[in-house]
Structure 1
């Protein structure tokens, strides 16, 4: 099986939810792969921080280079968060993802220049172009930012379902209603008819609980990179205080 076929099958396997740790560099990727995770999902925020950029400000060339290093470091499929596609055409985006060795991609429907949601029909048309260019070579995770951006009239759930159906029809393998209330995950999955990705956040339900609530796939955004940096900060404090760092 190809990496994309393997990743796609994991969304429907017997061991759900599919937990996808987010490596921000090759070393972190090896740690997660060695721990036995069957696939990984790069976080744009974590990579941005590792490269010294603000979230959303990583130059595309640096992002794709980082993805390629992560893919080369492990023997499991890697899906890549490429934000809103960096203004690339579908052909160029797919080409860069495949050149980097990615098995899938995360594409969000925020218009960052406008600070708002992109028109749903335009986003669906673009996703259809990406699917046509990629064929079966990429697993497309369509992020839906309704709960992140807010919807006029507080109709986030209805708009999430509407967008999810459009994106599914355009060829998305799964949908990612980021920050959706966990209690709604099962209903969203049923209404949209695609596996749902949930974001695990500190203080929220853990991956097992999110799976029980209806999520088929769990990601962490930049959370794991931030947790690692918090641990490193503790090590730095011990060093500064003259105490030996553990290990």
Structure 2
């Protein structure tokens, strides 16, 4: 599947079936090809994963776009782009990033209401909705409108108010978002409350949730998409840290746990 129009249509259809879409988050061409080789149906970028690769606390606007291009070229799967807050406070300026992501070949984009300013980490309700409205307008102006995800980030930034998350998601839905997302939901009851409060597909990120929750349970409450954010990147770095610390201590037991080179090359050859 190489045509962007077909990728967008397929990505949209993957949100409309009863079975949740498992949406893993690679951070470079190699991890994208491994995930495609494992049979995943779509991919999503992770700005945290990009920042980890660059050795920074946050990736920049161009870093994120360059990564979108790399991931889109690595496989023929639909790709959802994590655009953070569009790297601008002004709604129209932030929304310009959607067209730039489209030019990279993505099938979907996500925009969030986190400011990246620790002094005031979440946009007020009104500006947050205006930003989604601007994103919807920019998306609809594209030759092929992408699947637009709107994110309410308050649970991650000290505003532990599920009602406020739902209030924002409802407003984002009314503004025209295609998919709704409140990272930081931890329990099945919280997830059920969100899903039952909106009419659009809901993305659940399992990086912050009770790991005992199963895909079957998520499907049972109506979740349509399940991602992991920077989880796989952090998992890989945990293994890297463990091995590096063992090496620093003069031991090399970790070599017995390395992925066989033949397995990796098999994914890359595809």
TM-score range, shorter-chain basis?
A: 0.7 to 0.9
CA gap of 1:149–1:214, structure 2 versus 1, over 3 A, is farther
Report Cα offsets for 1:40-77 as digits up to 9, x if no partner.
Answer: 111111111012211xx212111110111011001110
* TM-score of the pair, normalised by structure 1: 0.88
The one of 168, 173, 182 aligned to 2:173: 168
Matched, 1:18 2:21: yes
1:97 correspondence with 2:113: no
1:223 matched to 2:231: yes
TM-score (norm 2): 0.81
Which of 31, 54, 66 is matched with 1:28 structurally? 31
Q: Aligned equivalents of 1:66 and 1:30: distance in 2?
A: 14
1:116 deviation in Å? 2.9
Question: Are residues 96 and 197 of structure 1, via their aligned partners in 2, closer, same or farther at CA, if it must alter by over 3 Å?
Answer: same
Any conservation in 2 of the 1:185–1:196 contact (CA below 8 Å)? no
Deviates more, 1:135-144 or 1:34-43: 135-144
Q: Distance in 2 between matches of 1:164 and 1:219?
A: 18
Compute the displacement of 1:234 (Å).
Answer: 4.3
Offset, 1:95: 1.9
Q: For residues 2 and 131 of structure 1, what CA distance do their matches in structure 2 show?
A: 20
Give the superposition deviation at 1:23. Answer: 0.3
**2:215 and 2:46 mapped to 1: Cα distance?**
17
Measured in 2, the distance between the counterparts of 1:90 and 1:130 equals 8
Aligned length: 241
